[in-house]
Structure 1
Amino acid sequence: MTPENRAAVMTSLIAAASAVVGALGGAYLKGNTDVALAERKFYSDLVLKALESPSPEERVKTLQMLTKTHLIKDKEVSEGVEAYAKEASANPGIVPQVKPTTAVASAPPPPSEGTRVYLLSGTAARAADFTVLKAELSAAHVQLLGAKTIVDAGRQDGPEIRYFFADDANTAKAILEHVNFALKGRTFTVKQYQDSQVRPGYVEVWLGR
């Protein structure tokens, strides 16, 4: 593996590692079992990424790199990868190649500075989405004012993003991008309301009932 290829592989693996840090943090909030599962998936993804090279020799060297650079911190997994790479070094052809998967969409850019968001839900079931939304918005450096379940007959049943000043329309749309990124498969509407008690930059994410 040339120094240039090695640097490119390391950059790709480190980027993959960084991409799951937020997910691991969100999983931690849900309990140790979820953390363990997330970590296992993380290491599995790193190994699969290491097997994408068309060169068997490079695949072996990249597997070795995972343990030598301590990207895999789980002792059992690290020892397993190290032992396999050592065995395969004598016959690189036994190491399978994994075809690269379609690139995951990158996270949207952070909203404007000073954006403040309150997460609301109408049911405990909808409140289960608080964890992943907190992780996503925190990663975007959005100030989270709180998250709670409320009873409000005046709100629509479906999910909605509320803003209260015309100048915050783009801010609400930016929050919408992050919500859609975190909660795929749900459809949020964006609407302006009047409320004299809030200041510019304030946005509510209503998860519905």
Structure 2
Amino acid sequence: MEDKGSAVKALILSGFFAILGTVVGGVVQGYWNVKLAEQKYQSDLILKALESSSPDERLQSLKLLVHTNLIKQSDVRDSVTNYILEKQKDPETIPQVKAAASQTLEAPIISNARIYILAGNANKTSAFNDLKLQLNSAGFKIMNARTIVDPGRPNNPEIRYFNPEDEQQAEKLAEFMRFKYDKGYAAILYKDAKAKPGYIEIWLGR
């Protein structure tokens, strides 16, 4: 009986330590997962602060992160503070970190965003349906999609916009098109008094 009792006790202890090990392991894993998430969050904040095309805005964004204590890790905060002091008189040397291109098209950032899709030959029209679907899903209005033979059009694809206030939207469309279709896309401003704000053309090339 004593041997049987000892065996039961050993079994219970073995199970207890197994459960304890699982619990402790889960707590430790959870702790490091939280730490890694915090580090990524703070890294993302710093990278976001460096996205602006304006050096002064990049400097001010870094200052804001420090002054509002959004950077929690003391060593990271100290490093950013020292970097700000170093670049204070020459913000031009603060590098711009461009946002990664997105595989999905974001919603329009301008009002009344209207897109006209154009191609220089019939072979290019194979992209019409897929492109229209993605533009519609993102919230853009499709004016039309057709083939034109226009000697004034370049061979290379491009995004045409006609009003300076549409520049940022045109750049975002060009970024998406470079990622999704062709690396040659660029956003180019054209003069056309008839084109109202929000009107943008996607030229697929010849």
TM class by shorter chain equals 0.3 to 0.5
Higher Rg: 2
TM-score, normalised with respect to structure 1: 0.47
TM-score, normalised with respect to structure 2: 0.47
